[in-house]
């Protein structure tokens, strides 16, 4: 089998699973609904590992699969490019997807949409693979929108819930705002490079470095414009402020997809995109600064919101936003490989956090309010331990995977000299405290303290959800805990083992372009003396102690229940409204759109075009015929009278006219 056929199989297997289960899942025995996708996704995972093996040994695969269409002199193709960057993404995507597939068996056990759910997550795996394996911008955009579609379908999976179908439409539309920029970026690339093929575009980007572009009367650098437009696309998918509003709401979907789509894979597509187009973005320091500042704002301010959430999934969702902000910061300081590194470690521990949260939700009989939880460590030991490990990885405990990726990013920001890097440094360092605070808050409230569901008031909002006073939660079955354990292993260890190749070797760097003048990453490399040294050194740095401080504050507030801080009312209000982004969209943007639509329709279309012009011309004709009708009375005498008068007027005109 040729490599092309093999690589084609990787996305095709989940697609086949999706189609088979989507069309015939209800007719087949229930077990088929999970067996077929799991076997095929496992196949994809193994082949992805093989692809990683091949690319690791230095072979970059780049071939076209078929010609999509020909227009004039342009050929648009569908094809694959598999380098280390891609192979890494493929392995992460298929691994997390496989875990989620297994996990779903129990999570969705009694759901009437069982086979539909499997069909969708397999379809998602296909789309995500098409996105990362693409060798051109067209297919990238296809995968980009296709993952958006599946995200839409899955957020609205429980289509009876009004909140779910509001959230999925919101997610799609906000993403479309990003795609709007993305598509314009692609169109500019097509215009200036005459091709959408990565390799050709990147090889020619140097020649356009100095090109200027006229926009609104002033000239802008072309690479800056392209970079910013592409980044707007990334902002939508990777939920950066202000296009982040859809991600917290997307928690309306079933938890497995929150882990797969809204934590580990799809939301990192934007990070992947910017990394992939590093040869373009690198040439524009303006774009890099913008990326850096957007990332910093997201990392800091979304983390703060995480402290105040009471829905277990929303806490994790805000944490995801904040961590995506960290990745974006890394992009901004030209440390693409570090962004990918954090993406990589984050995929494991964040998927684990979500799946752990899902396990808690099962244990709590689908109650998601953490204020009804407590002391779950007694009832759900495996969930407890794995959740704790994920939390430690997230807060950046030395030796844990998240430590290596996040600490490297903070280091890189420190060395960076780009505009905005001092703010970014503050945001990244202070963000460590915030991360620690919200993570341990969640941990203490859920797994320690009193068993709150026992003393909650009888009436609560979710009818027939949650535990009653006398029930106790129970540990979930092996189908849930196995993925938890399998994800816990990389969450703890993978940073330790992979930081060396990522920082020291050219494993990722050979697929990334970094200008020589952007020193941040090389400084990090220079100061790196092995993973153990790095962990030891961390003990004397600020981020570590901020992390400890976050732990202590959370411990006092939520374990000891000592309320020594009071949130000021104004701040509380701002935070309750989540800085007002949703309010702006819902009370200003949406009504304005409707208003404009109505004005255009009722005034322009109906009043002016239809009533004035169309019916107006009909009326004019009518009026005219009305008048002329009156003249035609049928009486000869009247006609004769008019004729005589007319003649008189004519004659007098000529006589009088002739005289003067």
| Minimum distance from residue 595 beta carbon to other proteins (Å) | 9
Nearest one of 460, 457, 405 to 435, comparing CA atoms? 405
Contact between residue 106 and residue 475 where contact means Cβ atoms under 8 Å apart: no
As a whole number of angstroms, the distance between CA 324 and CA 97 comes to: 19
Nearest partner of 322 among 228, 436, 192, judged by Cα: 436
Give the DSSP letter string of 121-184: HHHHHHHHHHHHHBSBHHHHHHHHHHHHHHHHHHHTSSTT-HHHHHHHHHHHHHHHHHHHHHHH
Give the C-alpha distances (Å, rounded to integers) separating 625 from 612, 621, 629, 632, 641.
18, 6, 6, 11, 22
Cβ(7)–Cβ(80) below 8 Å: yes
**CB of 583 or CB of 593, closer to other proteins:** 593
As measured in angstroms, the least distance from the Cβ of 286 to other proteins is 17
Judged by CB, which is closer to other proteins: 165, or 485?
165
Alpha carbon separation from 171 to 157, 178, 246 (Å, rounded): 13, 11, 5
Nearer to other proteins, 216 or 636 (CB): 216
* Pairing of the two strands 74-82 and 212-215: unpaired
Partner residues linked to 159 by β-bridges = none
Name the residue nearer to other proteins (CB basis): 157 or 544: 157
Tell me the HSE value of 343 on the side-chain side, using a 13 A CA sphere: 33
Q: For other proteins, which is the closer residue by CB, 59 or 612?
A: 612
Cβ proximity to other proteins: between 126 and 349 the closer is: 126
d(CA 74, CA 196): 10
What ranges make up the beta strands (E) of 222-260? Answer: none
Question: Given the complex with other proteins, which of 536 and 604 has the nearer CB atom?
Answer: 604
Q: DSSP secondary-structure letter at 660?
A: -
Closest contact distance (angstroms) between CB of 601 and other proteins is: 4
Whose tokens are 């989620």? That residue is 100
Task: Report which of 349, 350, 331, 332 is spatially closest to residue 340, judged by C-alpha positions.
Answer: 331
Q: How far is the CB of 621 from other proteins (least distance, A)?
A: 10
Binding site for other proteins (CB under 8 A): 66-74, 138, 141-142, 144-146, 149, 152-153, 156, 159-160, 162, 165-166, 169, 172-173, 176-177, 179-180, 183-184, 186-188, 190-191, 213, 215, 593-594, 596-598, 600-601, 604-605, 609-610, 613-614, 618
Min dist CB 176 to other proteins, Å, is 5
CA distance 410 to 435: 14
Nearer to other proteins, 615 or 652 (CB): 615
Cβ closest to other proteins, residue 217 vs residue 568: 217
Q: What's 64's DSSP letter?
A: E
Q: Which is nearer to other proteins, 166 or 537 (CB)?
A: 166
Q: How far is the CB of 226 from other proteins (least distance, A)?
A: 11
Measured CA to CA, the distance from residue 600 to residue 602 in angstroms comes to: 6
Q: How far is Cα 272 from Cα 234, in angstroms, rounded to an integer?
A: 9
At closest approach, how far in Å is the CB of 588 from other proteins? Answer: 16
Q: How far is the CB of 574 from other proteins (least distance, A)?
A: 28
**From the CB of 48, what's the least distance to other proteins, in Å?**
22
């Amino acid at each position: 089998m040729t490599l092309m056929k093999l690589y084609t199989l990787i996305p095709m297997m989940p697609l086949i699973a999706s189609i088979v289960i989507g069309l015939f899942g209800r007719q087949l025995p229930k077990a088929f609904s999970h067996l077929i996708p799991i076997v095929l996704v496992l196949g994809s995972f193994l082949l992805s590992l093989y692809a990683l093996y091949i690319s690791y040994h230095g072979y970059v695969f780049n071939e076209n699969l078929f010609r999509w269409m020909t227009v004039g002199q342009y050929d648009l193709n569908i094809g694959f490019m598999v380098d280390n960057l891609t192979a890494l993404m493929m392995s992460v995507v298929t691994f997390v997807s496989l875990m989620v597939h297994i996990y779903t068996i129990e999570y969705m056990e009694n759901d009437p949409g069982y086979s539909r759910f499997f069909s969708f997550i397999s379809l998602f795996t296909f789309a995500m693979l098409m996105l990362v394996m693409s060798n051109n911008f067209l297919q990238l955009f296809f995968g980009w929108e296709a993952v958006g579609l599946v995200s839409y379908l899955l957020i609205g999976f429980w289509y009876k819930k009004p909140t779910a179908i509001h959230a999925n439409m919101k997610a799609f539309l906000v993403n479309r705002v990003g795609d709007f920029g993305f598509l314009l970026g692609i169109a500019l690339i097509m215009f200036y490079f005459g091709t959408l093929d990565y390799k050709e575009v990147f090889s020619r980007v140097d020649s356009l470095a100095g090109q200027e572009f006229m926009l609104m009367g002033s000239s802008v650098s072309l690479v800056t414009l392209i970079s910013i437009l592409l980044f707007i696309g990334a902002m939508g998918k990777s939920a950066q402020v202000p296009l982040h509003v859809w991600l917290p709401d997307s928690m309306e979907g079933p938890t497995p997809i929150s882990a797969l789509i809204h934590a580990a894979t799809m939301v990192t597509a934007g990070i992947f995109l910017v990394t992939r187009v590093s040869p373009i973005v690198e040439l524009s320091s303006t774009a890099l600064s913008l990326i850096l500042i957007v990332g910093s704002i997201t990392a800091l301010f979304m983390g703060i919101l995480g402290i105040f959430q009471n829905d277990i999934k929303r806490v994790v969702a805000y944490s995801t936003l904040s961590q995506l902000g960290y990745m974006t910061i890394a992009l901004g300081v030209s440390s693409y490989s570090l962004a990918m590194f954090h993406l990589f470690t984050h995929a494991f521990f964040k998927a684990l956090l979500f799946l752990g949260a899902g396990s808690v939700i099962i244990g709590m009989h689908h109650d998601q309010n953490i204020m009804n939880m407590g002391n779950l460590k007694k009832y759900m030991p495996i969930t407890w331990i794995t959740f704790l490990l994920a939390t430690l990885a997230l807060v950046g405990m030395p030796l844990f995977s998240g430590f290596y990726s996040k600490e490297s990013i903070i280091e890189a920001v420190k060395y960076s000299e780009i505009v905005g890097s001092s703010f970014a440094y503050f945001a990244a360092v202070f963000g460590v405290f915030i991360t620690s605070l919200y993570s341990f808050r969640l941990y203490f409230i859920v797994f320690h303290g009193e068993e709150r569901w026992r003393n909650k008031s009888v009436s609560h909002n979710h009818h027939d959800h949650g535990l009653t006073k006398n029930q106790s939660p129970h540990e979930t079955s092996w189908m849930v805990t196995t993925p938890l354990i399998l994800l816990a292993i990389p969450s703890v260890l993978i940073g330790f083992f992979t930081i060396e190749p990522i920082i020291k070797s050219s494993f990722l760097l050979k697929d990334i372009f970094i200008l020589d003048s952007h020193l941040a990453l090389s400084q990090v490399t220079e100061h790196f003396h092995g993973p153990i040294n790095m962990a030891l050194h961390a003990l004397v740095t600020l981020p570590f102690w901020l992390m400890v401080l976050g732990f202590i504050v959370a411990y006092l507030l939520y374990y000891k229940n000592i309320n020594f801080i009071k949130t000021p009312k104004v701040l509380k209000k701002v935070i309750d409204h989540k800085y007002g982004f949703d309010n702006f969209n819902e009370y200003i943007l949406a009504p304005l759109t409707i208003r404009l639509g109505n004005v255009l329709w009722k005034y322009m279309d109906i009043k002016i075009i239809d009533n004035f012009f169309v019916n107006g011309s009909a009326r004019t004709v009518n009026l005219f015929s009305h008048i002329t009708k009156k003249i035609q009375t049928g009486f000869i005498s009247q006609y004769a009278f008019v004729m005589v008068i007319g003649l008189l007027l004519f004659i007098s005109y000529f006589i009088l006219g002739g005289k003067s």
